[in-house]
């Protein structure tokens, strides 16, 4: 049994500090091992042990009585703190990091669908001749010569329409981005 000096109940502050240091030296390692079994990480275990010794310091007069067993009291306080921490963790709603939402990495499928919708809307605003060249070239994957044959136009006309269609599409997308920034 560890006996703590009576000076904590009104004596100099140095005596109370010495009493807590003595408690810590004798019980901290065993208490930390006990607490670590129930904590998710070492930092949480350190916090529980620290709070246990703070409460011991506050109760030094009761702990210094000769017939009081200190170690069971410390373990009981640590157990109560563990229970309180578990209850608090369960009662709090789960927090989700907003980092992904701010970075734009939260849902790539949703972003892809939205991008497709924006491009489709911009394509609908193009002239039928420009839209046909873009669709055949980029969505069907045809070569420019094959696009010209399918549309019944000369190669140079297909090339020119593609150039102006891409310009118009870029303008449509830029105008939309100026109106609705992401």
Specify the CATH number of the domain 6-91: 1.10.1740.10
CA angle at 161 for the pair 160 and 162, rounded to the nearest 5°: 90
Where along the chain do its domains lie? 6-91, 107-179
How far CA 90 is from CA of 79, 106, 123, 137, 172, in Å, comes to 17, 25, 51, 56, 50
The reported pLDDT for the residue numbered 121 is: 86
Instruction: Show the tokens assigned to 13.
Output: 């502050």
Tell me what pLDDT residue 16 has: 82
User: Would you say 53 and 28 are in contact if contact means Cβ atoms under 8 Å apart?
Assistant: yes
pTM confidence score: 0.46
- pLDDT at res. 1: 42
Structure confidence by residue, pLDDT tens digits, 34-78: 999 998 889 999 999 999 999 999 988 888 777 778 999 999 999
- Residues 89/128, Cβ–Cβ less than 8 Å: no
For the chain, the average pLDDT equals 82
* Dist. CA 57–CA 9, nearest whole Å: 10
- Summarised one tens digit per residue, pLDDT across range 145-169 is 998 999 899 999 999 999 998 999 8
Structure tokens at 149: 């044959």
102: confidence class by pLDDT, cuts 50, 70, 90: low
Predicted local distance difference test score (pLDDT) of residue 7:
42
At the topology level of CATH, where does 107-179 sit?
Answer: Arc Repressor Mutant, subunit A (1.10.10)
Q: How far is CA 19 from CA 15, 118, 145, in A?
A: 6, 71, 92
Helices 155-179 & 144-151 angle (0-180, nearest 10): 100
């Amino acid at each position: 049994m560890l006996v703590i000096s009576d000076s904590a109940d009104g004596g100099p502050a140095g005596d109370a500090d010495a009493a807590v240091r003595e408690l810590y030296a004798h019980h901290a390692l065993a208490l930390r091992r006990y607490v670590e079994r129930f904590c998710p990480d070492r930092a949480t275990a350190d916090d529980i042990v620290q709070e246990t010794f703070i409460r011991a310091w506050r109760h030094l007069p009761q702990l210094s009585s000769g017939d009081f067993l200190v170690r069971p009291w410390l373990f009981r306080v640590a157990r109560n703190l563990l229970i309180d921490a578990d209850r608090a963790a369960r009662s709090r709603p789960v927090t989700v990091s907003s980092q992904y939402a701010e970075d734009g990495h939260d849902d790539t499928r949703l972003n892809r669908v939205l991008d497709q919708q924006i491009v489709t809307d911009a394509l609908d605003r193009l002239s039928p001749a420009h839209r046909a060249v873009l669709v055949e070239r980029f969505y069907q994957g045809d070569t420019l010569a094959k696009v010209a044959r399918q549309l019944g136009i000369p190669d140079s006309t297909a090339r020119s329409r593609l150039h102006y269609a891409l310009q118009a599409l870029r303008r449509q997308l830029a105008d939309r981005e100026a109106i609705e920034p992401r």
